[in-house]
Chain A
Amino acid sequence: DAGVTQSPTHLIKTRGQQVTLRCSPKSGHDTVSWYQQALGQGPQFIFQYYEEEERQRGNFPDRFSGHQFPNYSSELNVNALLLGDSALYLCASSSPTSARHEQFFGPGTRLTVL
């Protein structure tokens, strides 16, 4: 059983560009959350998707947007990239059959903005 998968593994962009990151949840999971982890810090919640809708959002600007597809996979889009957007972006999924608090993380996408 594959866990949470994310693509790409690494990405290098320049300031002002746009980026799309992808996540496939663990089999049987329907809720996807995205987190940003700056170097040496704990993950910070960006937003969460359930039933193809954004259900909750953290303290991130509108440059950060997302989408969830009918197969529960999800995308994170960041527009007008800033140097400060350089971070590890983590996707986490959770199951409808167990406590929804239990979130399982993917390996992340390392984004570098030059």
Chain B
Amino acid sequence: QQQVKQSPQSLIVQKGGIPIINCAYENTAFDYFPWYQQFPGKGPALLIAIRPDVSEKKEGRFTISFNKSAKQFSLHIMDSQPGDSATYFCAASKGSGGSNYKLTFGKGTLLTVNP
């Protein structure tokens, strides 16, 4: 059972465009939703994260939109650059004061930003 579904699988935009990557989750106990960026041969790097008590969070050119009722969240990259070309993963985890902080990842979106 895939608990976090991510789409699209791949995405091509022109420089300056605004790619949007979507994720949907099933487990309502999830309370932390990060996005990771991964370049070939490297480990995932935390980009931005959101908790379900807010509907939007911005950090630089990256914005997360969160819809708790729909159990969906998305990543927007403003003014995308060729250097943003990478694989992006959404993830989710739940924690209630214990050690249950495992991340459940989506399958990833390969983003290509053409110059």
Contact = CB atoms under 8 A, between A and B. Distances in A.
Interface stretch (A12-20, A61-69, A72-80, A103-111): A103-111
Q: By CB atoms of chain B within 10 A, which of A4, A99, A101, A108 has the most?
A: A101
Interface stretch (B52-60, B64-72, B75-83, B104-112): B104-112
A107 B43 contact: yes
Contacts of B95: 100-101
B12 interface: no
A43 B100 CA distance: 17
Interface in B61-103: 89, 91, 93, 95, 99-103
A71 interface: no
B44 A101 contact: no
Contacts of B36: 105
Interface residues of B, number: 25
Interface string A85-114: 000001010100001111111111000000
Contact of A45 (B46, B99, B102, B106): B102
Contacts of B6: 42
A7 interface: no
What size tier do the contact residues of chain A reach?
Answer: 20 to 34
Nearest to B100: A56
B102 A41 contact: no
Interface in A36-66: 40-45, 48, 50, 55-56, 58
Contacts of B42: 107-108
Contact of B103 (A31, A43, A108): A43
B11 interface: no
Contacts of A103: 46, 101, 103
B54 to A, nearest CB: 14
B101 A42 contact: no
Given A42-B108, A45-B104, A100-B99, 16 more contacts: A4-B43, A33-B102, A40-B107, A41-B107, A42-B106, A45-B102, A45-B103, A48-B99, A48-B102, A56-B99, A56-B100, A58-B102, A90-B43, A100-B95, A102-B34, A105-B36
